[in-house]
Chains A and B, each alone.
Chain A
Amino acid sequence: MVSVINTVDTSHEDMIHDAQMDYYGTRLATCSSDRTVKIFDVRNGGQILVADLRGHEGPVWQVAWAHPMYGNILASCSYDRKVIVWKEENGSWDKMYEYTGHESSVNSVCWGPYDFGLILACGSSDGAISLLTFTGEQQWDVKKISNAHTIGCNAVSWAPAVVPGSLVDQPSGQKPNYVKRFVSGGCDNLVKLWKEEDGQWKEDQKLEAHSDWVRDVGWAPSIGLPTSTIASCSQDGRVFIWTCEDPTGNTWTPKLLHKFADVVWHVSWSITGNILAVSGGDNKVTLWKESMDGQWACISDVSKGQGAVSSITDTQQSEQ
């Protein structure tokens, strides 16, 4: 059912922490403890190294592609407390912006939907979430939500652009008035929703269900869906699907997707938002789909299948 179509030789010298495909699915960005970010062209099953971005001084935790209407832009965040925005111009990648406003490791970056402009959310171990907005001409506007998650924020994910009320009456050419929202997960075991009101970011909802650090959150793309859906996964092995059918966005109901035996590190939605990929501490990826009666069922699992991982070495080192 599942087959490896491509094994990418990244030649990273240390652990890879994130891999992200770009908007068109043609390029893959990876980041590693070895401080580098690499971009591969993966068209037609190939794997050509396009760029090797060096600039971070610590492990790079996450990368994020911006919408291509703003150019080829990639953001990366690192243990070195920095967020770097890279831009490709005339075939070469350069730093477009470097943000150093966090006091601890920056764990997650996520670009907002293109309708919001070029806006980046960054979650850090210092507990704060920064929102960086490109205002043109090398200028970035910085808004910071302090103490968003006590101990630290591990993940951020934007809500798709939704317009309150009808678009039809909007005068053409004028930007519609979007409500900007995103979700974050942190070391306080909470999933929090944030909303911009009058230019200020406010906590909109606090979702409690996890009993350990929330590792990743993913707001599902809304392709024809009337409801908002968020997936969250945690150190406690649980994955929850949060749904909100209420148009005011106030009532969110959790549904336990599954309780895994190990830490769940990632959740990732398919493009159409109907399949959820979950990766856990056992180096396995499972795919989940909601059935007609609203139950989530595992439709496939992807063992890494490389034959290189043996069970004895999977244990976390506990050397003192």
Chain B
Amino acid sequence: MEKMSRVSTALGGGGGGAVSGRTMFCHLDAPANAISVCRDASQVVVAGRNIFKIYALEDERFVEKLNLRVGRKPSLNFSCADVMWHQMEENLLATAATNGAVVTWNLGKPSRNKQDQLFTEHKRTVNKVCFHPSEVYMLLSGSQDGFMKCFDLRKKESASTFSGQSESVRDVQFSMKEYFTFAASFENGNVQLWDIRRPDRYERMFTAHNGPVFCCDWHPDDRGWLATGGRDKMVKVWDMSTTRAKEIHCVQTIASVARVKWRPERKWHLATCSMMVDHNIYVWDVRRPFIPFATFEEHKDVTTGIAWRHQHDPYFLLSGSKDSTLYQHMFKDASRPVDKANPEGLCFGLFGDLAFAAKESLISSEANRKPYPGGDRRYPIFFFKKPDLTEQFAHVSSALSVFETGLESGRMDWFSQTARLYLLSGKPFAELCDHNAKVAKELNRPQVSTTWTMVRIMFSDPANPNLSLSAKLGALPLMNSFSMKDMGACPDMGACPDMGACPADRGKEGRSDAAHLEPGTSHISNNDDNEETEGSDGQAEYMFGEAELDDDDLYSVEHDNPAEDQEYTLPQEAFPLRHEILDNPSAPEPLQQDKAESPHVSGGEAEATCLTPIESCSLISATLPLYSAHLPAGFFCPVVRDMLHYYAEQGDVQMAVSVLIVLGERIRKEIDDLTQEHWYTSYIDLLQRFELWNVSNEVIKLSTCGAISCLNQTSTTLHVNCSNCKRPMSNRGWVCDRCHQCASVCAVCHHVVKGLFVWCQGCSHGGHLEHMMHWLKSSPHCPAGCGHLCEYT
């Protein structure tokens, strides 16, 4: 054995200098079981059941240097479960054979067969061999037979035997710092610590994992730290420096952990690979146990051996795999799951609020909490320690905030408010419009409010005394704007009848809106006050919005009906007035024509130019009779149709549907059924999302779409038995197809029940609700005389 020391190797010593290279791989002839690197990082040995070779690591490739598997029919001693290259003696290798042999190899031997020593003391597969880090001749083995043996390579047999008193030994590792100490891991989940001088009994034992502990590794620098990996998919880091082994870190991987290796020069990093399912190699920062720091995803089958190429170089990792490849991984080529990970979460809430989660580094938040250790905030910024990049990886947290966007269009409060307060039926058309206009105004939605008013004007019957347009017109001679006057008129009107009606209407909805009502009504009156004091300013704004909205549509209408324009003056008035407020310097063609025809509207510049008010008044009163007489009912329909489409496109499907329902037959034919249906379903979906079931039901009820109104019938299934023959009624309707009797006959008065029908689920007999209630007051038995003791809940 002496001749072995310090002779130049048969392989002629490789690089030895600074490690360089790239990510590369080579094909092996057979699956690898383990790999080990020589001390100077220039060569790697690959061992497996059918392979035992040494490769030189060159810059660009692996070069096969030596095949240690010699002989025509190699003995089972060549079938390796593990291999280790001595870290001090570069010619010395040890392998663990699957037949229980521990073999050492001397590369300095001149013969082809480099086998040196053969120890056949273990009875079963040897799982692991380990050289002492500083003692040249000391070799340790751990076997499936439950024993560990320490060999002095100068002797022919083992120096001492350690019995784990436990199941199979999966790994043995000499401590890097404690000369006499080694750790052994077992299949029953235990880890034992032994003193090499005391083979009788372990120093310490603790249960590290559920199920087998496949591997362990001492931290190269921290003497007390031991990492263990088990079938329970965990990697645990133990602090062994205290009297009780303390778990200080735990990393959960997605598959059982077959190998664990601390990363050189990186205190917190370790590499793992798995023995099944997962073929990747992971490098973890134990402080961030959730997400791998880096992964190498090259292997196509299970990775069986990993080794850092040089004990002081953290950038090169070698691995062998069942896929018969040997890889050198460069750290810079590793994939970083964190970089791919989405650091932000974003979600639009139902009410227009935003939930936003974003990464925040713990460093910065710590900086907020306490000063830098040893540093002082008074020092100028460049005295601050540059944050350690690994620290940045390790401590990450996220802040989650819910934002209110504050945008009228973004928030959805108005939606549910509006849905609850709108009246869609049960009153004359004009009142509905006025009510809804008021609701919209109250919710600070002037454009919608104005639209309702416009709709009312366009479609209401001027003969309706409620409106008394002409009277009010006369009373307000200075108002040269038609809609302004209406805006003024609408609260007036609403004030008397609607106010009274409001609470009742809301009560009908069964909602607890009473609280809303009080501020709501006061709000209205506030608005009224404002309008009185501020006058036309606010309204001009309203008109501006409306003008913007319908501008194009209006022109097109006028183009479409030039003849009518001449004849009927009302539409002219309605339209140009808007342009007045729009204050459009370049008045388009139709307007010019109007100007010629009816000079009173050409004023354009609103009140300032002050058209002769009398003229305007008289003109309106003069046209009023024409209104009902000449205007075809559908005259405004194209405008309204476009208006509805506009609202729908803006996402305000509520407006589209509400107007659709309120206008009913007036507009229905203008919009194709499919669109209507789409609006209805969208609106109903929204209502249900906002849990406005009553409104949703009302909309379904009021809808004129067949597909929508049948929604209420499809959602509930009723199973009924015939009261006559007591068989289930199979078809729809109330005539039993078995006994051909009407099933809905009242058992008390023998008339067919229309309206509320109540029946006993036990005997299928029943009848008018009030009859049944009356009957059951006097008798618990069924009125049909079947003798059943009826139960009604």
Contacts and interface: CB of A to CB of B under 8 A. Distances in A.
B760 interface: no
A6 B402 contact: yes
Interface string A15-27: 1111111011100
B351 interface: yes
B401 A3 contact: no
B648 interface: yes
A3 B290 contact: no
Interface string A289-320: 10010000001101011111110111011111
Contact of A265 (B233, B346, B361, B656): B346
B604 to A, nearest CB: 23
B350 A25 contact: yes
B398 A21 contact: no
Interface in A1-49: 1-8, 10, 12-21, 23-25, 28, 30-35, 42
Contact of B389 (A62, A300, A302, A318): A318
A111 interface: no
Interface stretch (A163-171, A202-210, A252-260): A163-171
B650 interface: yes
A317 B353 contact: no
Contacts of B365: 308
A155 B19 CA distance: 41
Interface residues of B, number: 86
Given A32-B398, A173-B714, A271-B412, A16 B345 contact: yes
A172 B348 contact: no
Contact of B341 (A33, A304, A312): A33
Contact of A20 (B344, B347, B367, B401): B347
A199 interface: no
B343 A265 contact: yes
Contact of B368 (A7, A307, A318): A307
A15 B341 contact: yes
Contacts of A172: 710, 713-714
Given A274-B651, A300-B407, A265 B402 contact: no
Interface residues of A, number: 88
Contacts of B406: 1-3, 300
A320 B314 contact: yes
Given A168-B677, A172-B710, A275-B410, A224 B402 contact: no
Given A30-B345, A271-B350, A304-B399, A224 B656 contact: yes
A277 interface: yes
B179 interface: no
Interface stretch (B55-63, B479-487, B678-686, B743-751): B678-686
B652 interface: yes
A319 B350 contact: no
Interface in B286-307: 288, 290-291
A35 B252 contact: yes
A170 B673 CA distance: 13
A96 interface: no
A17 B403 contact: no
A59 B400 contact: no
Interface in B406-436: 406-407, 409-410, 412
B400 A8 contact: yes
B254 interface: yes
Contact of B401 (A7, A32, A105, A272): A7
A222 B350 contact: no
Nearest to A80: B254
Given A300-B405, A308-B368, A319-B393, A215 B359 contact: no
B401 A268 contact: no
Contacts of A33: 288, 290-291, 341, 396
A271 B675 CA distance: 19
A16 B357 contact: yes
B653 to A, nearest CB: 4
A10 B360 CA distance: 13
B397 A15 contact: yes
A272 B682 CA distance: 9
B349 to A, nearest CB: 4
Contacts of A24: 350, 689-691
A306 B354 CA distance: 15
Interface stretch (A85-93, A131-139, A141-149, A279-287): A279-287
A285 B651 contact: no
A79 interface: yes
Contacts of A79: 254, 291, 337
Contacts of A17: 341-345, 357
Contacts of B674: 166-167
A4 B401 contact: yes
A302 B402 CA distance: 11
A117 interface: no
8 contacts: A6-B402, A18-B347, A222-B682, A223-B651, A277-B354, A287-B410, A306-B399, A313-B387
Q: What 8 pairs across the A-B complex have the smallest Cβ distances?
A: A224-B648, A25-B350, A272-B651, A274-B651, A319-B389, A16-B398, A313-B361, A19-B345
Interface of A: 1-8, 10, 12-21, 23-25, 28, 30-35, 42, 57-59, 61-62, 79-81, 105, 166-168, 170, 172-173, 215, 222-226, 265-275, 277, 279, 281, 283, 285, 287, 289, 292, 299-300, 302, 304-310, 312-314, 316-320
